[in-house]
Structures are given as structure tokens and as C-alpha cells.
A and B are shown apart, each in its own frame.
Chain A
Amino acid sequence: MLQMHTFNSWLPPIVIFLLTLAYWYGWFTLRRRQKIIRIPHAISFTVGMLLLSIAYLPEMMHWGHADMRGHMVQHLLMAMYAPVFLVLGAPSTLLLQILPAPIARRLTSILKSSFFRMISHPVTAMLLNIGGMYLLYLSPLYNQMHHQPFLHHLVHLHFLLAGYLFTWSMIGIDPGGHKVSFRLRLSVLFISIAAHAFLSKAMYAYTWPKQSIHSDQQIQEGARLMYYWGDLSELILLIIFFSMWYKSRNDSFKSVPV
């Protein structure tokens, strides 16, 4: 029984490790054929997976469950830091190239579907990402999450997927992505950073989430972590965002579509 529990709690890091191995397998298989995903991209993906696996370590899960600070560190890793590095690894490009043609075609048609185009639009992706956080901390959802493990996992998965989607809509390098103007993406980024800063300060000021299992002091420390460490991840995102702008202006031939 105990062993089963241990296995379950180690399952996410194991899955992450296996996915990383699969990525590298694909990368080595394709390294002669494809030119988009070079070694820095592969390293970036590995760093992203490493950050993600830290967020999913059993100790981290316990800390995140009992302590607002732990929860916030998990949020930062899953939704902000890991996605930046994962997106730069262009895993979907790699996947499309390694899969057998019929399956790859089906996947491409899903990626080109109007539904996916809608949810991966910067505005929608921002609403899913930041809007999800407002919903989590300002509604009873956060407290319910502590009673239902299923909900807890769902929230973590949402952190990761929405964070990835948003980051991808900003700095995705996979071909066939959205052609959204630089100005619109920058405006969305501006609102998103402001909304994140405002939410963390408001959580500090009014000790949201209300009636949680955490002390006010713990919530305030969590909110500070969210503000300052969120800042750093947004700075990294901005640097990548603008370096892509610079590259697209100054490259005579574009190997990487921006």
C-alpha cells in the first residue's frame, strides 16, 4: 500500500523524464533532416522539463498543499518558467516530423482547426492563463482544491497548459503558428504583466484567497514571491520576445519564423 502511494507520487516526475528521453530520441533521429530544432533548442526543452519535474516532486507537492509559498513556487515553475524553456524547444515541430505521415497530418489538421486557432490566439490564451488565476484565488475554488485531489491535479495541469499556450502565442517558433501582429502581441503582454502584478499585490493587500487553510502572513509571503519571481520570468519572456523582433528585422533570410 505504502509502495503504491510512493509510486503514485513519483509518477509525474517519471512521466516528465520519459517524455524528455522521447524528445531526445526524436531529436537524434531527425538531426540530419530538420534544421529548425538545433542543439540550443533541445537544451532549452530539457531545462524546461527539469523545472517542471522539480515542481512535481513529491516533497514539492506536499509543501504546495500545506503552504501558500510552496503553492506559489509550483505555480511559478509550472505556468511561467518551464513554459518559456519548453516552447523554445519546439516540441510540436519535432513531434510532427517524427510521427508517421497519416498521424502527423491528422495532428496538423487539429492544430489548424478553428477551435485551436481560437484558443491559441494571444487574447484567448491570456484570458485562460491570467483569468484562470483570478478565478482560482478570488473564488472558493482554491479552498475546494484542498479537499479534492482530483481538482488539485486539474489546477496544476491548467497552470501548465495555459502557461504553455500563452507563452507559445507570444514566442512560439513552430511553423504554421498564428500570424498575429507584433503590436497586438506586445499589447497583450503588457496587459498580462500588469494583471499579474495587480493580482499579486491585491492578494497581499486583501489576503486573498479568503478563508483558506493558510495564515495571512503565509499568503502575503506567497503574494510577494508571485510578484517578484513572476517579474523575473516576465523579463526573460520579454527579452526573448524582443530578440525575436530584432532578429526578424535584421535577418535577410528567416530560418525561424517569428
Chain B
Amino acid sequence: MKLGSLSHRKSGSLWAGVLTGTGIMAAVDEIIFHQLLSWHHFYDKSTLEIGLLSDGLLHSAELIAIVAGFFLIIDLNKNQALVKVRIWAGFFLGTGGFQLLDGTINHKVLRLHQIRYVDNILPYDIAWNATGIFLLIIGIVILIKAKKSGEIEIYKNKA
């Protein structure tokens, strides 16, 4: 298996991280908030019809993302094209991005469901989206650092 170019490997690792991160966050959301806490509703009457359709598409994409991301990572690793720091950057960008998208588009625009069915939902919304922004910032910081010392990281990895 021939190795791709340097930039190809870097972007490959970043995307593998994004896919895995998005998928894992979606799975955490489903397992913890849907199944264990039962905070989220499977469906509530405020859900828009277009929301149901986009929910199906999003759900499918999440499921594929987690599996595709995982196999991309082991494939990159097998072909010595894995840039670990980029995986981590992508992972945090993916988790944070999903959390923020879920908290704004899914919860507020499409009204798929709310975080919890209580009188004052604002603190929950703030905590939810702040977590998303926080994770995104971690991802961005790692990415900036990786850009500064990216080359070194790759050779460390190859050794």
C-alpha cells in the first residue's frame, strides 16, 4: 500500500477523528440522555415534520460516522499514515461540533426534542451548548498546535 502525500495523511487523520468524534458524541447522547436518564423524549408533539425526516438522515449519518471513523483510523495506522495529534484535533472538533449542532439546530430549530422537560430549560440549554463550544475550542487549540509542530509529530509516529 503506497503512502499518500503528507498533506493527504494529515487531512485523512483529521477527518477520521471528526467522524469518530461525531459518532461517539451521538452515541453518548443516545445512551446517556435517551436510555439511561430518559431526559430526552423519543418524539414529542412539538417536533416538526421536517424534523422527523432530518432526524432519520442525521441518525444514519451518525451511525455510519462512528464505524467509518474507527475503520479509517485503523486503516491509517496500518499504512503508517496516522497523525495522532490530528486525530485528537478532529475528535474534539467532531464531539464539540455535534454537541453544538444538536443543541441549536436539533433542539431549537427543528424542535426534535428538548434536553429535559422542566419549566426552566435555559440553564440546560446553556450548559449543553457551552460544553459544545468548550470541546470545539479544545479541538481548535490542538489543531493550531499541530500546525506549528505537525511535521515533527509525523516523524515521531513513523518511528
A interface residue numbers (CB < 8 A to B): 186, 189-198, 201-202, 204-205, 224, 227, 231, 234-235, 238-239, 241-243, 245-246, 249-250
Contacts and interface: CB of A to CB of B under 8 A. Distances in A.
A201 B55 contact: yes
Contacts of B67: 235, 238-239, 241-242
Contacts of B1: 249-250
Given A224-B42, A242-B68, 5 more contacts: A189-B64, A192-B60, A197-B55, A204-B43, A231-B59
Nearest to B35: A228
B75 interface: yes
Contact of B42 (A194, A201, A243): A201
Contacts of A243: 71
Given A243-B71, A246-B71, A250-B78, A201 B64 contact: no
B37 interface: no
Contacts of A201: 42-43, 52, 55-56
Contact of A250 (B42, B64, B70, B75): B75
B52 A242 contact: no
Contact of B63 (A191, A195, A231, A245): A231
Interface of B: 1, 42-43, 47, 52-53, 55-57, 59-61, 63-64, 67-68, 70-71, 74-75, 78-79
A191 B60 CA distance: 8
A126 to B, nearest CB: 12
Most chain A beta-carbon contacts within 10 A, residue among B53, B70, B71, B75: B71
Nearest to A193: B60
B63 A193 contact: yes
Contacts of B78: 246, 250
B75 A246 contact: yes
Nearest to A243: B71
A198 B63 contact: no
A238 B63 contact: yes
A92 to B, nearest CB: 26
What are the nearest 3 A-B pairs in CB distance? A198-B56, A194-B60, A193-B60
A242 B61 CA distance: 14
A204 B43 CA distance: 8
A202 B75 CA distance: 38
Given A204-B43, A246-B74, A190 B61 contact: yes
Given A190-B64, A231-B63, A198 B52 contact: yes
B59 A193 contact: yes
A205 B43 contact: yes
A202 B50 CA distance: 11
22 contacts: A186-B64, A190-B61, A190-B64, A192-B60, A193-B64, A194-B60, A194-B61, A197-B56, A198-B57, A201-B43, A201-B52, A201-B55, A227-B42, A231-B59, A231-B63, A238-B67, A242-B67, A242-B71, A246-B74, A246-B75, A249-B1, A250-B1
A163 to B, nearest CB: 18
Contacts of A205: 43, 47, 52
Contacts of A227: 42
Nearest to A197: B56
A74 to B, nearest CB: 22
Nearest to A239: B67
Nearest to B44: A205
Nearest to A240: B67
Contacts of A250: 1, 75, 78-79
A238 B78 CA distance: 20
Contacts of A196: 56
B61 A198 contact: no
Contacts of B55: 197-198, 201
Contacts of A189: 64
